[in-house]
Amino acid sequence: MASNQPATEQNTKRHKVEGPKKHIVAFIFSILLTFIAFATVISGEINKDFIYIILLGTAVLQVFVQMAFWMHMKDRGHKYALIGILSGVFVVFTCVIMAEYWVWW
């Protein structure tokens, strides 16, 4: 469960206050990924399967940016958080594959 270390250890531990720079970079990266996704669809001349791959790729990358940097998942002590989210994602994958490939068999 959540690490049960006393609050004093948190106090004495040297803590570097992070600046906004990293988050602005993450934000620009998100905007860029969004732009790529929109531009791919608007240009419209490319092969359909290729568009789907780019769209899913940019979406997954963007989720990674949000989770790792903005939800602090890259920081230590997020093992159970990761297990919780991944079990959710597993169920979602099962449902989506079922809906995409089995419903209109």
Can residue 91 be called a binding residue for another protein (CB under 8 A)?
A: yes
How far is the C-alpha of 1 from the C-alpha of 85, rounded, in Å? 15
C-alpha distance from residue 89 to each of 7, 25, 93, 95 (Å)? 33, 27, 6, 10
Closest approach of Cβ 22 to another protein, in Å?
10
How far is the C-alpha of 50 from the C-alpha of 67, rounded, in Å? 26
Q: Which residues make up the interface to another protein (CB under 8 A)?
A: 1-4, 7, 10-11, 13, 15, 17-18, 20, 23-24, 27, 30-31, 34, 37-38, 41-42, 44, 48, 51-52, 55-56, 58-59, 62-63, 66-67, 70-71, 78, 80-81, 84-89, 91-93, 95-96, 98-100, 103-104
